[in-house]
Structure 1
Amino acid sequence: MSRPTCGILETGCMAVYNVMMKIFKCLFYAAQGYSVQYLFEGFMLPKCSVSRYQSMKINKWLAGSVWIVTEMMADLLISRVNRKPQFTIMDIVQSGRFKIAKTLLCSIVLYLFCLCWYQGKWLLKLFLVIQFLSLRQLSIWTGFSLNLLGQRKLAQLEHAFLEGKLQMAEFVQYMELAALCSVAVVWLLQCTILILFIRKIVKSFCCWKPERLNREAAMYLLPAVTGLLLDLLLRMMMITIEEGRQVLLYKRYPVSYFAIPVIAIVLMLAIVFSFQSCQEMAAIQRARAEKIVLENQMIQMRAFIAETEQMYRTMRSVRHDIKNHLLVLRQLMLQKFPAADTENEKEQEIWCYFEDICHAVGQLDNQIHTGNAVSDAIIHTKFSYARKMLDTICLNAEAFAVPASARLKAYDLGIILNNGLDNAIEACVRLHRQKPETRLFITIRSFCVKNMLFIEIENSFDGAILLDKDSGFPITTKEDKEVHGIGLKNIRNCAANYDGGVDCIVEKETFTLSVMVASAPNKNEEKE
C-alpha cells in the first residue's frame, strides 16, 4: 500500500475515532446528568410552582442539564488553557491541578444552582452535592481500574507492530479500534456503577425527613468526604516521572488494579449505608415522638371519656328529675287556673313562661342517639363545634349506631371518632377558605358485615391530597409534622387491636375514612 493511501486511511480512521469519542463523551455526560436529576428529585422539591413549568418540562431535566453544560464548558475552558504537551513534571502536575479545579468548579456551580432552584436547608443541598460528587469520582476510578483487559490488548498490538507482524495502516486501525473499545468499556462501567448506586440510595429513601438534617450530617458525610480525599490522593499519585518517563501508579504497583476498585466500591457501599443509617435514626426518633403523643392522647382520652360518661349519667338523671318536676308543676297549675279557660293576661304570661321552660328542657335532650354514651357525647361535641366554625355545613349521623354486641372499648371508640371527625372538620374548614360557595358536609355511618363493624366518616374536601408512599395515608399539611399527622396512625393502631384495618377513599372532592373492627369477640377472648 502506497504512503499517500496509508495517510488517507490514517486520516479517515482518526476522524472516525474523534467523532466516536465525542459521542461517547456526550453519552457519559448524559448519564451523569441523569444521576444528578434522579438524586435531587428524590430528596428536594423546586421552589417555583410545578404547574407553571410542567408544560415545558423544565423541572424534569433542569438539574441534569445544568450539570451537563457545566461539565462541557469546564472541559472546553481547560482544553484552551492547557494546550501544550505534557513533557515535564510541571506539565503533568499542572494538568492534575486543572482536573481538580474542574471538579471544584462544577461542584460550586451545582451547589449554587441547588440554592436557587430547590427548597430546603442549605445543609441538605450541600449534603446531596457532596454525596453525588463522591459517588461520581469513585465510580470513575472503579471503571478505570477494572479496564485491565483493554490495557493488555493495547500492549499486545504494540508488541505485534514492533515485531513486524502488523503494517502501519493495520496497526493504526487496530489501535484506534482497541482504544475506542477500551474507552467505551471504561465509561460504560463508570456510568453503570454510578446510576446503580444513585438509584439504590433514592429507592431506599422512605423514613428520613430532609428537614431533620442537622449537625448529625457531618457523621453521615464521612464516607463521602473520604471518597473525595481518596480521589484527590490518587490524582496526585497516579502519574510520576522516573528517568524522564511517565509511569502510572498501576505500572509501579500492579496490585492497585485490584485494590483501587475494591476500596472505591467499599466506600460507595458505606455511602449507601450512611443514608440507610440516617433513615433508621429518623424512623426511631419519629416513632418515639409518635409514641409520646399517642400516650398523652390516650391519657387525655381516657380522662375525657370517664368525665363524659359521668356527666352524661348526671345530665340524664337531672333531665329525668326536671321533667318529673315539670309534670307535677303542670298538674298544680291546671288545678289553679286551667290554660284553656284563662283570660287573665298574667295567667297567660305564666303559662307562656312555663311552656318556654318545658321547651328549653326538651332542647337539653341529646339529638344524637347511637346506643353508646361515649359516641353520643363525642359526636354531639364535634358537631356543635363544626356548626360554630361553619354555619352552612350539613351534618348527619342518623345512620351511625354502636351495636350492643360490639367489643370496641370506650377509649378506642373515642380515638376513632375524635381523630376522624377532627380531620373531617379541618378539611371542611380548609375547603371553605378556598371555595366559600362549595357545599360542606360531614356524614358518619356504621354497618355490620358478618362479624365486622364498619365505621365510615365521609366529608367534603378541596381535592388536593398527597399520599404517603409507605402507609398510604394522606400527608399532613401542618408545619409541625412531628406532632400532627399521626391521627390516622392512631386510628389504624386501634383498629389493629380488633383484627381490623383502615382505608382512605378519595372520589373527586369527597374523602371517606373507613374503619373496620371486629364486632364480636374472637375465640381467644371467649376462652379468657
Structure 2
Amino acid sequence: MENNIEYDKMLSTINLSGFIDSVFPYILIIINMILIFMFINYVKSEKENAQMQILNEKLKMQYKYYLDMEENQKKMRQVYHDMNNHIKNIKSMKNNGAEINEYIDGIEKEVQENRCVYNTGNKLLDIILFEKNKECLKNEIEFNTLIDFRECDFIEMIDISSIFSNLIDNAIEACVKMDEDEKRYITLRTTSIKGYFVIRCENSKSKNICSDRDSKGGFITSKKDKFYHGIGIESIKSSINKYSGDIRIKEEEEKFVVNIYLPINK
C-alpha cells in the first residue's frame, strides 16, 4: 500500500514537472511581452512629458515676447510723440556740438533698443533673435539679420533653438572678448541654394585670439570650462545630423564664418 502511495506521489511529481516544462516557455513569453509593453508605455510617457515641457517653455517664451513687444511699442510711441520736443531741444543746442551729439546718441540708442521686431516665418526663431539682439545691444555688438525660415517647417522646435541659440551665443562670446576699440558685429543670413537651406553666421573676433584645432578638427576654446563649451558645438552638430546636414567653420584673422547646410525636405 505504501509503495502505491509513493508511486502515485512520484507520478504526480513527474506529471507536474512535465506540465511546468511545457508551460514555462509560454509564461516567459507572456512576462516578456508584459515587460516590453510596460517599457514602450514608459518611453511613450517620457516622450509626451518632454514634448509637453518644450511646449510649456515655448508658451512662456511667447508670452514674454509679446509683453516685451507691447512695452517696446509704448516706448516707440512715446519717442514719436516727443519728436517735436526733441527737434526743438536740438535746435536750442546748436552752439554746443558735444551736447547735440550726446542728445542724438541717446535718442538713437532708445530707438535701436525698441525697433527690432522679427518676422522670419517662425515664432520661436523670432523670439530667439529678439532676445539675442538685446544681449548684443548690452555688449555694443551690431546685430544684423536677414532670415526667411518659411521653407523649414520640417525642422523641429528643439533643433531650431539648439542651432540658432548656440550659434549666436558663440558669436557673442567671441565679440565680447574683443577690445573696446575694435568693431563688434554679428551677421546672420539664410538662403536656399540647390535644395539646401543655408545658414551663414559671420562674427568679428579679436586679432589677438587664435583658436587651435583639436585632433577631430574642432576648435579648442579659451574657456576654462572646455567641456561646457563643447556641449554647445556638439548640440548644433547633433541637431544638424538629424536632417543629414553639414557644418563648415572657417576662421580668419578678424572673423569667424560658420555655414550650415540643411537639405530642404519637400
Task: Indicate conservation of the 8 Å contact 1:428/1:461, yes or no.
Answer: yes
Distance 2:202 2:51 in 1: 23
Residue deviations 1:455-485, cap 9 Å, x none? 1111000143334343322111111223222
Please name the residue that 1:506 is paired with: 251
Residue of 425, 429, 432 corresponding to 2:176 = 429
Match of 1:383 among 123, 127, 133: 133
Moved over 6 A (4+): 299-302, 317-320
State which of 139, 142, 154 in structure 2 corresponds to 1:394.
142
Q: Residues 369 and 474 of structure 1: is their aligned pair in 2 closer, same or farther, counting only changes over 3 Å?
A: same
Work out the CA distance in 2 between the residues paired with 1:516 and 1:493: 13
Deviation per CA, 1:74-126, whole angstroms, max 9, x where unpaired?
A: xxxxxxxxxxxxxxxxxxxxxxxxxxxxxxxxxxxxxxxxxxxxxxxxxxxxx
Asked whether the equivalents of residues 430 and 461 of structure 1 are also in contact (C-alpha less than 8 Å), the reply is: yes
Counterpart of 2:211 (choices 460, 466, 474) is: 466
Question: Relative contact order: is structure 1 or structure 2 higher (C-alpha 8 Å, sep ≥ 6)?
Answer: 2
1:442 aligns with 2:189: no
Which one has a larger percent strand, Structure 1 or Structure 2? 2
How far off its partner does 1:300 sit? Answer: 9.8
Match of 2:6 in 1: none
Counterpart-to-counterpart distance in 1, 2:210 and 2:155: 30
State the alpha-carbon separation in 2 of the partners of residues 319 and 483 from structure 1. Answer: 32
User: Residue in 1 aligned with 2:225?
Assistant: 480
> Is contact 2:175–2:184 with CA below 8 Å preserved after alignment?
yes
Gaps in structure 2 of 5+ consecutive residues: 1-48, 74-109
Cα distance change on mapping 1:416 and 1:319 into 2, 3 Å: closer
Unaligned runs of 5+ in 1: 1-298, 324-359, 522-528
Q: Quick one: which of 405, 413, 419 aligns to 2:160? A: 413
TM-score, normalised via structure 1 length:
0.30
| Letter paired with 2:206 | D
**Aligned in 2, Cα 1:313/1:468: closer, same or farther, shift over 3 Å?**
same
- Residue 492 of structure 1: how far off its partner (Å): 1.1
CA drift at 1:442: 0.6
Cα distance in 2 between the residues matched to 1:477 and 1:301? 35
Q: How does 1:309-320 map to 2 (within 5 A)?
A: 309=59, 311-312=61-62
Q: Give identity over the alignment, percent.
A: 26
CA deviation after TM superposition for structure 1 residue 520, in Å = 1.1
1:372 corresponds to which letter in structure 2?
N
Structure-2 separation of matches of 1:377 and 1:511: 24
CA shift in 2, pair 1:479/1:317, >3 Å: closer
Please report how far the alpha carbon of residue 318 of structure 1 lies from its aligned counterpart in structure 2 after TM superposition.
11
In the TM superposition, 1:242-257 aligns within 5 A as none
Aligned residue identity for 1:451: G
Q: State whether structure 2 residue 205 is matched by structure 1 residue 457.
A: no
Q: Secondary structure at the match of 1:508?
A: coil
Give the counterpart of 1:372 among 118, 122, 125: 122
RMSD: 3.3
User: Given the superposition, is the C-alpha separation of residues 318 and 477 from structure 1 closer, same or farther in structure 2, using an over 3 Å criterion?
Assistant: closer
Q: Aligned AA for 2:121?
A: G
Contact 2:200–2:259 (8 Å) recurs in 1: yes
Quote how far apart the aligned CAs of 1:486 are: 2.5
Q: Which has the higher Rg, Structure 1 or Structure 2? A: 1
Distance 2:261 2:62 in 1: 27
Contact 1:455 1:515 in 2 (8 A): yes
Deviation at 1:507, TM superposition (A): 2.4
Q: Residues 508 and 369 of structure 1: is their aligned pair in 2 closer, same or farther, counting only changes over 3 Å?
A: same
Task: Pick the structure with more helix per residue.
Answer: 1
After TM superposition, give the deviation of residue 515 of structure 1 in Å. 1.2
Letter in 1 for 2:231: I
SS in 2 for 1:483: helix
Report 1:8-407 matches (<5 A).
303=53, 306-309=56-59, 311-312=61-62, 367-388=117-138, 390-391=139-140, 393-397=141-145, 399-407=146-154
Q: Deviation digits for residues 484-521 of structure 1, max 9, x if unmatched?
A: 22311211111111111111112220101111112215
